[in-house]
Amino acid sequence: MAAQSKTVLEITRQTISTVVALVAIAVVILLVTVGLYQRAAISKQTETFTLPVNTSKVTLQLEYMVNDFYAGRVETLQANDLSFEQPGKILAMFVDEGTAVNKGDAIAQQDTLILEANRSQTMASLERIAAQVQLAQLTEARRKKLFEQGHSNEQQYDEARLNTQTLQAQYKEIEAALKTIDVNIEKSTLYAPFDGIVGQRFVDVGGVLNAGTPVVNLMETGVQLARISMPAMRVALLNAEQNYEIAYGDKKISAKIYSVRPDVNSQTRTQDVLFKLDTETPIAIGELVELQFANSRKENGYWMPTEALVEGTKGLWTVFAVGDDNVVVRRSVEIIHAETSRVFVRANLGANNQVVTNGTHRIVPGQKVAPTNERSK
Angle between helices 154-186 and 113-149 (to 10 degrees): 160
Give the model confidence (pLDDT) of 157-170 as tens digits: 888 888 889 989 99
- What is the pLDDT at residue 52? 85
- What is the pLDDT at residue 11? 60
Report yes or no on whether pTM surpasses 0.85.
no
> In the Cβ-directed half-sphere of 231, how many Cα atoms lie within 13 Å?
6
Surface-to-core class of residue 144, CB atoms within 10 Å of its CB (0-12 exposed, 13-18 middle, 19+ buried): middle
Which range among 71-85, 112-126, 250-264, 280-294 shows the weakest confidence by mean pLDDT?
Answer: 280-294
> In the Cβ-directed half-sphere of 39, how many Cα atoms lie within 13 Å?
6
DSSP state of 366: T
Cα dihedral across residues 257, 262, 267, 269: positive or negative = positive
Which pLDDT band holds residue 7 (cuts at 50, 70, 90)? low
User: What residues have CB less than 8 Å from 105, skipping those under 6 apart?
Assistant: 94, 95, 191, 192
- What is the pLDDT at residue 279? 83
Better-predicted residue by pLDDT, 327 or 99: 99
- What is the pLDDT at residue 65? 87
User: What residues have CB less than 8 Å from 222, skipping those under 6 apart?
Assistant: 77, 195
Surface-to-core class of residue 42, CB atoms within 10 Å of its CB (0-12 exposed, 13-18 middle, 19+ buried): exposed
> Which runs of consecutive H residues, i.e. helices, occur in the chain?
2-48, 113-149, 154-186, 232-235
- What is the pLDDT at residue 159? 84
- 54, 357 in Cβ contact below 8 A? yes
Task: Report phi then psi at 2, rounded to 5.
Answer: -65, -40
**Chain centroid, CA 283 distance in Å:** 14
Residue 375 has pLDDT above 60, yes or no: no
Better-predicted residue by pLDDT, 14 or 188: 188
Give the model confidence (pLDDT) of 136-158 as tens digits: 888 888 888 887 787 778 888 88
Give the amino acid at 152: S
Give the amino acid at 251: K
Give the percent of the chain with pLDDT over 90.
45
Which pLDDT band holds residue 36 (cuts at 50, 70, 90)? low
Cα-Cα-Cα-Cα torsion 176, 179, 180, 185, nearest 10 degrees, comes to 170
Give the model confidence (pLDDT) of 227-247 as tens digits: 999 999 889 988 888 999 999
Distance CA 94, CA 9 (A): 131
User: What residues have CB less than 8 Å from 296, skipping those under 6 apart?
Assistant: 63, 64, 65
- How confident is the model over 343-357, as a mean pLDDT? 83
Distances (CA, A) of 13 to 6, 8, 27, 39, 302: 11, 9, 21, 39, 76
- What is the pLDDT at residue 272? 94
Distance CA 120, CA 182 (A): 11
Which range among 5-19, 182-196, 302-316 shows the weakest confidence by mean pLDDT?
Answer: 5-19
